[in-house]
Amino acid sequence: MKQQWINWVGGVALACGLVAQVSAAEKITVFAAASLTNALQDIATEYQKGKDVEVVSSFASSSTLARQIEQGAPADMFISADQQWMDYAIDKQQMVKDTRYTLLGNELVLIAAKSAKQDKITINKQTDWAKLLNGGRLSVGDPESCSCGHLRQRSVAEPGGLDHAGTTAGAG
């Protein structure tokens, strides 16, 4: 059952199955990034129909889940939103390295409030962040616990990146 569920998740996410040798189980415990909550709940509901299996999911930040796994939390599958936290779980020898499979990816995106009166924003190395933010604030994820925080942290090192905006960025 566990193998079927793994294949089903992979099939839905990428139109292909995961190949792994996992024994049958009545309960599958999945630790997954909070950003995947809705999709994985729907997938689990569909998968369980007509099968003698229960999918139990725990959703939180990838860092929280990796640390819980390190402390012995029983996860049959870890779906992380961040490669670094997947590396962490593998380095702590809590997950099987050869079963790692990249299903999805993240991108850093920007959205402006209606009050900003921006019709279109082009983001590239020439983007004038100080002008765009007009002395305002930029809210981003905490790099210590959030995959989008890591993406933001990488972007600040780029020429013309957020670090050169001359504004205050609040992590949260």
Element (H, E) at 168: strand 168-171
> Does residue 87 lie within any of the structural domains?
yes
Residues of the chain with pLDDT under 70: 1-25, 106-108, 141-172
How far apart CA 136 and CA 98 sit, in angstroms, is 46
> Does residue 108 lie within any of the structural domains?
no
Q: What is the pLDDT of residue 106?
A: 65
Q: What is the pLDDT of residue 46?
A: 93
Q: What is the pLDDT of residue 21?
A: 32
> Does residue 79 lie within any of the structural domains?
yes
Q: What is the pLDDT of residue 95?
A: 79
Q: What is the pLDDT of residue 22?
A: 39
75 and 123 belong to one structural domain: no
Q: What is the pLDDT of residue 155?
A: 60
Question: Tens digits of per-residue pLDDT, 21-37?
Answer: 334 558 999 999 998 89
CATH of residue 23's domain is 3.40.190.10
Q: What is the pLDDT of residue 152?
A: 61
Per-residue exposure over 112-150, b if at least 16 CB sit within 10 Å of its own CB, e if not = eeeeeeeeeeeeeeebebeebbeeeebebbbbebbbbbb
Q: What is the pLDDT of residue 171?
A: 46
Task: Give the closest residue to 127 by CA, choosing from 171, 169, 167, 162.
Answer: 162
93 and 120 belong to one structural domain: no
Q: What is the pLDDT of residue 101?
A: 83
78 and 138 belong to one structural domain: no
Q: What is the pLDDT of residue 18?
A: 33
The model's pTM is 0.60
Total structural domains within the chain: 2
Q: What is the pLDDT of residue 154?
A: 60
Q: What is the pLDDT of residue 172?
A: 46
Domain span at residue 66 reads 2-99
DSSP structure class, residue 148: H
85 and 138 belong to one structural domain: no
